Amino acid sequence: RLSVRGNQFLPYWFHAFFLGTIAGYLLHRHARAFLKATRAPGLQGLGWIILLLVPLSLPELRRMAGFPMLPNFIDPVTFGMPVLVFLAALGGLGPFRYLAWPVFTQLGAVSYAIYLLHKPVMWTLEPLLSGRVPDLALGLAIVALSILMAAVSTYGFERPVQMILNGYGARLSRRFA
């Protein structure tokens, strides 16, 4: 039986995927107009307001503060704030324009590998270093090693395999064309 309280089930979030698909389509079709509109000076301040509102989008923080809440998957603030952050980042509003800096774009290039590898790094380093080094040093070691392993994985394995598969796919499509 599905539980509305648990909301860990994918069907509860279908509307998010559906709306994301529509937003992606609209942004693709109207990218120039969107980017031109985001250059308006008044909208740059909106980026700072969105950034300041991010803590209010955290459901547990709002629950602890006693704000009335809907289940996460239909709560307009929980659902809407990531959309606003995405649009602000895409348009480079206010502080979100710094996400275009090379260090952040490079982190973005390996972010999925970081996501995949950070848990194994934690599982390996925590038993070895916990109690022997300060927690901050352990956390920084986990972050640094996760980023390093992600970069090695992305540029040493994933990208070369993609190039091989893309070349194979191109040759195959020419054969059948």
Give the model's pLDDT for residue 10: 64
CA atoms within a 13 Å half-sphere pointing along the CA-CB vector of 131: 2
Confidence of residue 3 (pLDDT cuts 50, 70, 90): very low
User: pTM, whole model, 2 decimals?
Assistant: 0.64
For the chain, state the CA radius of gyration: 21
Q: What is the mean pLDDT of residues 60-68?
A: 86
From CA 138, how far away is CA 123, in angstroms rounded? 12
Instruction: Encode pLDDT of 111-162 as tens digits.
Output: 999 999 999 999 999 999 888 999 899 999 999 999 999 999 999 999 999 9
- Tokens describing residue 129: 């270093």
* Phi and psi, residue 146, nearest 5°: -65, -45
Instruction: Encode pLDDT of 80-122 as tens digits.
Output: 888 888 888 888 888 988 988 999 999 999 999 999 999 999 9
Q: What is the mean pLDDT of residues 57-69?
A: 86
Q: Which of 3-7, 22-26, 172-176 has the lowest mean pLDDT?
A: 3-7
Query: CA nearest 151: which of 117, 100, 101?
Result: 117
Per DSSP, the residues of 132-170 read TB-HHHHHHHHHHHHHHHHHHHIIIIIHHHHHHHHHHHH
- Tokens describing residue 100: 């275009």
111 vs 73, more confident = 111
